[in-house]
Structure 1
Amino acid sequence: MVGIRIRTLLMALGLMAGGAQAEEAYIVLQSTTSTQNSGLLDHILPGFEAETGIDVRVVAVGTGQAIRNARNGDGDVLLVHAREAEEKFVADGWGVERFDVMYNDFVLVGPKSDPAKVGGGTDIVAALKAIAQATAPFVSRGDDSGTHKAELRQWKEADIDVAAASGGWYRETGSGMGATLNVASGMEAYVLTDRATWIAFGNKGNLEILVEGDPRLFNQYGVILVNPEKHPGVRAAAGQRFIDWLLGEVGQGAIASFRLDGQQLFFPNAR
């Protein structure tokens, strides 16, 4: 699965030698709150660590922050969900190559009372227009995460200026998905969330899924090795070994086997 370019790069850096492998007893994975809060990483990482002896140290933040951390050299592998930003990360030379790993989707959650009357819909843009028209409370992560980026794309398509509504019916938490869902639960507000975090979330209160199934809510995850030519301290051999495992039969099977309450949370689609 490792491309010729990647192998050549690793060999040129002398990272394929046994001594280098021994020094690479761990990697730092910059990833998202959704992979951590859902329990996915706790489910899949022990298998990789047992097979390879490589410890995976996870930094779980919003996608935007994870990319900035990786660009600063504070990580070896990036596992996030904002394709355009990921592709730019590679195009700018900070990452070696991007691979699809898995997907799920976003859902619009809101109070059972549903003041904007969007329940049962499958059109996210129409739902957001209705929420804005009703000035019903909406809680956003507001943290440049993959979920926040996806939400802003939908508001833009709906031609709604949420910046103008900030502090009124539109509230930003600047926090992760779990904390934002807690705020939405307390306010009985609408919120866009990834389905995996929603399923794992324990404080649903009066919230429920109101809009789902729109193709615009597709949520793809990608994995990238941080470029050791930019940051020589990157544990490239161990990082690439993790990527190969994640994209291979065992890693993809581990992703597929992760379930909560009988529901599959992520769907592997490495090519």
Structure 2
Amino acid sequence: MEHRIATFLSRLSRTWLAAAVLAAVAIASATPAPAQDFITVASTTSTEQSGLFKHLLPEFKKATGIEARVVAVGTGQALDMGRKGDADVVFVHDKVAEEKFLAEGFGVKRLEVMYNDFIIVGPKNDPAGAKGKDVVEALKKIAGTSTPFTSRADKSGTHAAELRYWKLAGFDPPKGAWYRETGSGMGPTLNTASGMNAYALTDRGTWLSFKNRGELVILVEGDTKLFNQYGVMLVNPAKHPHVKKDSGQKFVDWVVSPAGQAAIAAYKIDGEQLFFPNAKP
């Protein structure tokens, strides 16, 4: 009798042990692995659609182990993401809007990263006679002939620049059936321009990577007013304590470092450089 009781208790003990082991395994399986270190970068469609980030971000991760996840929207929307604390870093190209963001206390420090330029593309037969180096005169001719022009109209850095040029040309804002607002990014706007055989203002980087050109060619370039500067800022953790301050700052530091600047300069399409690093030491 005593032997049977001892055997029963031994089996029960083994059963409990097995159950405990299974429970531990189940708990371990249910516990999520540590989250990968990543940051959210709110940036522009031009840096995304030009292919720059596909080239740049693997180099950043290789150097730091940090993954940067990009949300590509217009500059205005990117800065609004920063204001709401929905991004750790903003990487945009509208200096006036960036300085306002900084003055409001939403950014820590604005650093210049790189530049390229804006261009006006349009039908190769140039019905408005816009071809040349003067962006303001070109827009006057386009409006004066009511030749179709497509605008992003999305509060992006490119759209802000376009509106400044139109204001200089005496149209604030331009109106008429010839002026088509897409409310979309640079790629879709160029697709619309290609389909309509219309003029458009674009950054050179997106144009160089754009394939669906149709009859469109570069008609206006070289005006100093078409200079296009990009800046980067860490979103202020004093405004949003959940901002990943250390990882975000590593991105800012890397992109303006010699390694980051070299990576930007190395990005080319068909041998042509899309962005030119100009971070100040």
Any conservation in 2 of the 1:61–1:176 contact (CA below 8 Å)? yes
In structure 1, the partner of 2:170 is 159
Alpha-carbon distance between aligned partners in 2 of 1:164 and 1:109, rounded to the nearest angstrom: 20
Query: Residue 80 of structure 1 aligns to which amino acid in structure 2?
Result: V
1:108-123 equivalence runs, <5 A: 108-119=120-131, 121-123=132-134
In structure 2, the partner of 1:221 is 230
Query: Residue 144 of structure 1 aligns to which amino acid in structure 2?
Result: K
Residue 249 of structure 1 and its aligned partner are, at CA, apart by 0.5
RMSD: 1.1
1:122-147: CA deviations, max 9, x gaps? 00000000001100000000000000
> Are 1:124 and 2:135 matched, yes or no?
yes
Query: Residue 149 of structure 1 aligns to which amino acid in structure 2?
Result: A
Alpha-carbon distance between aligned partners in 2 of 1:37 and 1:194, rounded to the nearest angstrom: 11
> Are 1:87 and 2:99 matched, yes or no?
yes
Any conservation in 2 of the 1:162–1:170 contact (CA below 8 Å)? no
> Are 1:37 and 2:46 matched, yes or no?
no
> Are 1:182 and 2:186 matched, yes or no?
no
In structure 2, the partner of 1:199 is 208
Any conservation in 1 of the 2:163–2:172 contact (CA below 8 Å)? no
Alpha-carbon distance between aligned partners in 1 of 2:145 and 2:55, rounded to the nearest angstrom: 41
**Which structure 2 segments of 5+ residues have no match?**
1-33
Give the match's secondary structure for 1:196. helix
From 169, 176, 181, give the equivalent of 1:172.
Answer: 181
Give the match's secondary structure for 2:108. strand
Give the match's secondary structure for 1:110. strand
Give the match's secondary structure for 1:228. coil
Residue 35 of structure 1 and its aligned partner are, at CA, apart by 0.5
In structure 2, the partner of 1:252 is 261
In structure 2, the partner of 1:104 is 116
Greater C-alpha radius of gyration:
2
TM-score of the pair, normalised by structure 1? 0.90
Query: Residue 166 of structure 2 aligns to which amino acid in structure 1?
Result: W
TM-score of the pair, normalised by structure 2? 0.86
Alpha-carbon distance between aligned partners in 1 of 2:130 and 2:42, rounded to the nearest angstrom: 36
In structure 2, the partner of 1:150 is 161
Any conservation in 1 of the 2:166–2:174 contact (CA below 8 Å)? no
Range that drifts further, 47-56 or 173-182 = 47-56
Give the match's secondary structure for 1:202. coil
Query: Residue 176 of structure 1 aligns to which amino acid in structure 2?
Result: G
Q: Which runs of 4+ in 1 moved over 2 A?
A: 161-165
Cα distance change, pair 162–115 in 1 and its aligned pair in 2 (3 A): farther
Any conservation in 2 of the 1:76–1:239 contact (CA below 8 Å)? yes
Residue 53 of structure 1 and its aligned partner are, at CA, apart by 1.1
Cα distance change, pair 26–84 in 1 and its aligned pair in 2 (3 A): same
User: How many residues are paired up?
Assistant: 247
From 57, 72, 75, give the equivalent of 1:60.
Answer: 72
Any conservation in 1 of the 2:52–2:267 contact (CA below 8 Å)? yes
Alpha-carbon distance between aligned partners in 2 of 1:82 and 1:108, rounded to the nearest angstrom: 18
1:3-50: CA deviations, max 9, x gaps? xxxxxxxxxxxxxxxxxxx97711000000000000101101101101
> Are 1:74 and 2:86 matched, yes or no?
yes
Query: Residue 84 of structure 1 aligns to which amino acid in structure 2?
Result: V
1:38-81: CA deviations, max 9, x gaps? 01011011011012111101100000000001110000000000
Give the match's secondary structure for 1:250. helix
Any conservation in 1 of the 2:150–2:179 contact (CA below 8 Å)? yes
Alpha-carbon distance between aligned partners in 1 of 2:174 and 2:240, rounded to the nearest angstrom: 37
Q: Percent identity?
A: 61
Cα distance change, pair 231–23 in 1 and its aligned pair in 2 (3 A): farther
Alpha-carbon distance between aligned partners in 2 of 1:24 and 1:155, rounded to the nearest angstrom: 46
1:81-118: CA deviations, max 9, x gaps? 00010011011000000000000000000001211011
Query: Residue 231 of structure 2 aligns to which amino acid in structure 1?
Result: G
Any conservation in 1 of the 2:88–2:245 contact (CA below 8 Å)? yes
